[in-house]
Amino acid sequence: MNLRVVVANLFVKLMSVYREKTAMFFTIAFPIILILVFGTIFMSQDNVEYHLCVQDLDQSNLSAQSLKSMQKDGKFKITMVSPDINAAQYIRDKKVNLVMVIPKGFERSLTQRVMLSDLKASVTITYVYDPSSSSVPTKIQILNAVLAGINQKISGKPPVILSVEKSILTRKYRFIEFFVPGIIAMAVMSLSLFGTVNLNTELRQKGIIRKLSTTPITRTDWILSDILYQFIIALVSTTAMLLVSYAVFDISLNIDAWLLVFILLDVFAFVGIGMILTRFAREAQSAAAAANAISFPMMFLSGSFFPIELMPGFLQTISKILPLYYVNEGLRAAMVFEDNMTALRCSVIIGAFASVVFILGILATKWEEGK
């Protein structure tokens, strides 16, 4: 390795990107936009309020009181539907996804049960819903929990099994604090992978690689300068993401040396993959398509956007062989849970992966034009 050559390459790459301000802006802006969009969406989910349509066919005092108590905990914003309207038609016409129907005789049945202890007296609440809406199951789940609470109260006996929530973290973290490390991992991957692929295919198509092959520069010098360059860009991008996250969402994350370690390993791994892709996909378009084919599934399967526990079992197994999964896990361990052992385990795994692809990247990089 020749440090002078590495620095010379680094200078050229940094000056090129510094003078291409539009590209630089969008490179940094993309992950920030993601953080702002997803952060805003999921921040509001911490205090989410569902829209609930209710058709009260009983029109009694007790049904009105029950609805008032449902509104009290702030989970539901209730819209009353006239008893004369067909609930299913109402859903179609008003483009709502669920109408809770309180049947006629609601007050009478409850009174019979409570006052007269008539065990045969019961009432059935009907949920008329649109199955194509993804929020319906959540609404029904919450409504069932509310009704279970009411049933418990009506029974007049204290519950046998109680529950209490106890977080493993000393502090209460919000979704955005889990989200930001994932976006950092994803953004560094994209910058390194696409940056390497785009830069190298462009230089090859322009004949610059051919010219460089007639100079003493080695493949190791070239890839190391690329890694250093991508590392600097990744640091700038990460700093911007963290600053925006602190300013807009007032996040609370632990920033220490692990962050640098994982950014560096992320860069190492994906510059190596980029070099391998550049070798086999010779045209810029096919190289970019190959990079997309690798990065997109990885973005969604490795837990950058949502926990892998939400996925089916076989996808979780696939997730755990993806390098980005270990960057995500490692960054969250370091920045959220402050769990050094998990961070160390993840860094060893991603480090081993990065070493292999780095060596393969060097071997795949070809200066000569062919036999």
Nearer of residues 4 and 72 to another protein, judged by Cβ? 4
- DSSP assignment of 181-223, as one string? HHHHHHHHHHHHHHHHHHHHHHHHHTTHHHHHTTSS--HHHHH
Nearer of residues 47 and 214 to another protein, judged by Cβ? 214
Question: Which residue in 51, 77, 94, 210 binds another protein (CB under 8 A)?
Answer: 210
- The label of the residue with tokens 């300013």 reads 247
- Tell me which residues in 215-274 interact with another protein (CB under 8 A): 215-217
Site string for another protein, 170-209 (x = CB under 8 A): ------------------------------------xxx-
Question: Which residue in 1, 4, 47, 168 binds another protein (CB under 8 A)?
Answer: 4
Report d(CA 251, CA 42) in Å as an integer: 13
Closest CA to 80 of 109, 51, 106: 51
Question: Which residue in 213, 239, 317, 340 binds another protein (CB under 8 A)?
Answer: 213
Site string for another protein, 8-47 (x = CB under 8 A): xx-xx--xx--xx---------------------------
How near is the Cβ of 23 to another protein at its closest, in Å?
Answer: 10
Helix or strand or coil: residue 50? strand
In the sheet that 76-81 helps form, which strands lie side by side, from edge to edge?
Answer: 76-81, 50-56, 98-102, 126-129
Which residues are registered as beta bridge partners of 128? 99
Question: Which residue in 82, 214, 309, 310 binds another protein (CB under 8 A)?
Answer: 214
Measured on CA atoms in the order 82, 85, 88, 90, is the torsion positive or negative?
Answer: negative
How near is the Cβ of 212 to another protein at its closest, in Å?
Answer: 8
How near is the Cβ of 6 to another protein at its closest, in Å?
Answer: 10
How near is the Cβ of 209 to another protein at its closest, in Å?
Answer: 10
How near is the Cβ of 360 to another protein at its closest, in Å?
Answer: 22
End-to-end C-alpha distance for the chain, whole angstroms: 26
Report d(CA 273, CA 267) in Å as an integer: 10
Nearer of residues 120 and 371 to another protein, judged by Cβ? 371
Report d(CA 260, CA 109) in Å as an integer: 65
Give the CA-trace dihedral at 259, 261, 264, 270, to 10 degrees.
Answer: -90
Two tokens, residue 20 = 């291409």
- Tell me which residues in 329-368 interact with another protein (CB under 8 A): 368
Question: Which residue in 114, 212, 235, 248 binds another protein (CB under 8 A)?
Answer: 212
How near is the Cβ of 206 to another protein at its closest, in Å?
Answer: 4
Report d(CA 274, CA 270) in Å as an integer: 6
Nearer of residues 7 and 41 to another protein, judged by Cβ? 7
How near is the Cβ of 19 to another protein at its closest, in Å?
Answer: 4
- The amino acid sitting at 355 is S
Under 8 Å between Cβ of 308 and 325? yes
How near is the Cβ of 367 to another protein at its closest, in Å?
Answer: 8
How near is the Cβ of 270 to another protein at its closest, in Å?
Answer: 23
Nearer of residues 216 and 312 to another protein, judged by Cβ? 216
Report d(CA 295, CA 9) in Å as an integer: 26
Two tokens, residue 51 = 């829209």
Q: Among the candidate windows 129-137, 214-222, 223-231, 272-280, which touches another protein by CB under 8 A?
A: 214-222
Sites of contact with another protein (CB under 8 A): 2, 4-5, 7-9, 11-12, 15-16, 19-20, 206-208, 210-217, 368-371
